[in-house]
Structure formats: C-alpha cells, structure tokens
Amino acid sequence: MGAGIAGLCLALRLRAAGVPHLVLARQERVRACSLAETLPPTTLALLEREGLLELFFAHGRKTFGYCAQWGTGPLRRVDFFGQGRYGHGLKVDKAGLIHQLTEIVGDRVVTLNQIVGIEPRRGRVRISWAQRGREMSADAALLVDATGRRRAVLRRLNVPSLVQDHQVASSCHVEGVRIPELCHGVVTESFAGGWGIASALDETTNVLTLFAERGSPVALAMRDLGRWSELLADTRLLGRLLAPARAPTQGAVGALANSSRASQLCGPGWLAVGDAAIAFDPLSSHGISNAVFSASVAASAIEVWYTTGDTTLVARYAGRMETIFAQYLAQRRQYHRSASS
C-alpha cells in the first residue's frame, strides 16, 4: 500500500524476483509543489547497486554541496568534491521520478479513493477499498505499508508510532535567483522558531521549505504565504528569495516532517518500508536512501518467504531497520548537544 519511492522500488524488485504483487495507490489531489531532494554522494552508490542510477540521473541534476547558516555564526560550506566514487550528489525532482517509476511498474498499480477496511484473517490480510464508487477487496499473504509517515496501514492495524518530535513542513515555489554568497544551489538557514531550506528545482525555480514544531506560532504562520516574509525577515539568505518581485508562484503545501518509527516494523501478514517503517529529519537527507534501501532489504526477505515460507529474513529486516533508527537517534542527540554547546 503506497506508491511513493519505497512502494514503487519494492514493486520493481518483486517483479524481478517473480513475486506476484499489487501496488495500491490512493488517489491524491495534484500536489501544488514539486519537491527537490538532495542526495549525498553515498546514496549514489546505493542507487548503482540497485540498478536505479540512470533513472535517478534522468530526473536529477548534479550538485556539489550545500551551504548552511545557523544562527549568527559564519556561513558554512560543505563540499561533495572527493566524497566517494562520484564526487557529487544529486538533486532529484521527486514528482518526475515517481511518475516514471509508476509508468515502469505499469498495470500493477491500482488506484483507490479510500481504504474501507484492513482485517487480518487466518494468516492472511483482507484489504477493502473504494474505487470510483465501488467497494473492492483482495486477500494478501503479506500487506506492506509504504504510505510514509501517515502509516495508513499500521493505523488500521492499531500499531502505534514512536514519535521523537512533531516537526511539520510547508513548501512553495519561488523564482530561481542566484545569491552571490552561495557557492551551491542548496542552502539551509535557521530563524526564530524554525529553520528552512532552499533548493533549485530547475534553472528558473527554487523550492523553499520551512520547518517548525506542529502547533507552534511559527507552524501556524507557515500556512499563510503572506506571512513568510515576516518569518524570514531576520534571515541572511532565505528572506532574499521572497523579495516582492519574487513572490511565491504557487500555494504552500504542508507535510509531516518528524523523526519517528513504527513501534513494530512487521507482524502477522504485514510489514512496513520507507518512512512508514522509520522516518528521519529532512535535514539528514536520508529520505530517498531510506526508501530505496528498505525496499531492497524487504524485497529480499519477501522473496525468501514467498519461495520457502521462511520468515526469518522478514524478522531480521525489522531488526536491522530498528538498529539503523537507534543509531540515527544517537547521532541526532550528539549533534544537538554539540550545536547547543
């Protein structure tokens, strides 16, 4: 369930392994804001191993680092030159990438309007959904939640989330402009009550995303594009992207952006991949790598289970992802301690 990068990459791996499957994709309203995600050089090696590098290059642009402005300190420059085999990262148009992945997966994708019910029964899972006014259902030997931080399947199964924070994001497009101080097309900057990131989507458009704790005054203000200039008034860089002549070209799009994980990553007849399993702070740039990696490991486990009935690798997959998230939290705590000292 879920037709983001994790769900579609899992479908590709299952097709290659000869494992029958369907991808259930909820009919969403058209996103008002295509997003660009920066992949560090380490992710490119993963994409090459998975046979996805050419596809990602077709929907991305090389990037050689980023700049960061935290508080009143100096502008920090991080270069990708010399890192790993490639010496560069990749800035990916996620909407274009997902569109092509959907075309490749083809008729295995079934669009639905809403989930009606999910019911475990006799070692299988029955899922019912509404599609164009009709109710349909299917029995699955294994149901995979790839619905991101919403965890639509897990919520139906009463599997709670372990949430480390309540960060939310709001994104919009602004006219692409060059700021002389920036050596790279990506910049992060903090401001009172939140932080933001600007990234070039293409030659003419920047994606500007602001982050804050849900329910805070800043998060409430982020919903109104008319208040963004006020929020960024004291920033050194991000506010310059919102000059009157460069007003946002589209409305803001909100999303969850928390660090969280499912309390269980697998159970009788189900497992979770991508952000539905473990979700990182967007500042880590691990969203796509997590989607691809978890889909790959899960696919290998599912293939063994399907051909032999052995669920050992499914349980091992869950343990591996839990360990990765625990390591991430330890690094996150260390980073916050050093940032506040």
Residues 277/293, Cβ–Cβ less than 8 Å:
no
Would you say residue 92 lies in a domain? no
**CATH assignment of the domain containing 158:** 3.50.50.60
CA distance 73 to 79: 18
Q: Which of 221, 256, 291 is the last residue of a domain?
A: 256
- Residues, the chain: 341
**CATH assignment of the domain containing 231:** 3.30.70.2450
Q: Both 332 and 267 in a single domain?
A: yes
Q: Which of 237, 256, 275 is the last residue of a domain?
A: 256
Which tokens hold the place of 217? Answer: 């005054």
Q: Both 172 and 220 in a single domain?
A: yes
Q: Both 248 and 276 in a single domain?
A: no
Looking at residue 176, what is its pLDDT? 72
Which tokens hold the place of 37? Answer: 């995600």
Looking at residue 249, what is its pLDDT? 54
- Residue 322 is which amino acid? E
Phi, psi at 168, each rounded to 5°: -125, 160
Going by their DSSP bridges, the two strands 205-213 and 167-175 should be labelled as antiparallel
Which tokens hold the place of 308? Answer: 């032999």
Looking at residue 244, what is its pLDDT? 54
**In terms of Cα–Cα distance, which of 47, 49, 41, 43 is closest to 83?**
41
Would you say residue 106 lies in a domain? no
Q: Both 193 and 223 in a single domain?
A: yes
Looking at residue 31, what is its pLDDT? 57
- Residue 307 is which amino acid? T
Residues 311/305, Cβ–Cβ less than 8 Å:
yes
**What is the tally of structural domains in the chain?**
2
CA distance 242 to 175: 9
Looking at residue 175, what is its pLDDT? 79
Per-residue confidence in pLDDT tens, the chain, 341 aa: 999 999 999 999 999 999 999 999 987 755 556 777 889 998 999 999 999 999 999 999 888 888 888 888 888 888 887 777 888 999 898 989 999 999 999 999 999 988 999 998 877 899 999 988 899 999 999 999 999 999 999 999 999 999 999 999 999 888 777 777 766 778 899 999 999 998 887 778 888 999 999 999 999 999 998 899 999 999 988 988 876 545 555 567 889 999 999 999 999 999 999 999 999 998 888 999 999 999 999 999 999 999 999 999 999 999 999 999 999 999 888 876 655 54
**In terms of Cα–Cα distance, which of 294, 341, 312 is closest to 145?**
294
Q: Both 158 and 176 in a single domain?
A: no
CA distances in angstroms from 307 to 199, 241, 268, 293, 318, listed in the order given: 44, 54, 17, 22, 19
Q: Both 247 and 171 in a single domain?
A: yes
Looking at residue 195, what is its pLDDT? 95
Q: Which of 231, 256, 281 is the last residue of a domain?
A: 256
Q: Both 142 and 175 in a single domain?
A: no
Q: Both 297 and 224 in a single domain?
A: no
Angle at which helices 5-17 and 287-308 cross, to 10° = 30
Domain range for 279 is 5-27+113-164+259-340
- Residue 193 is which amino acid? G
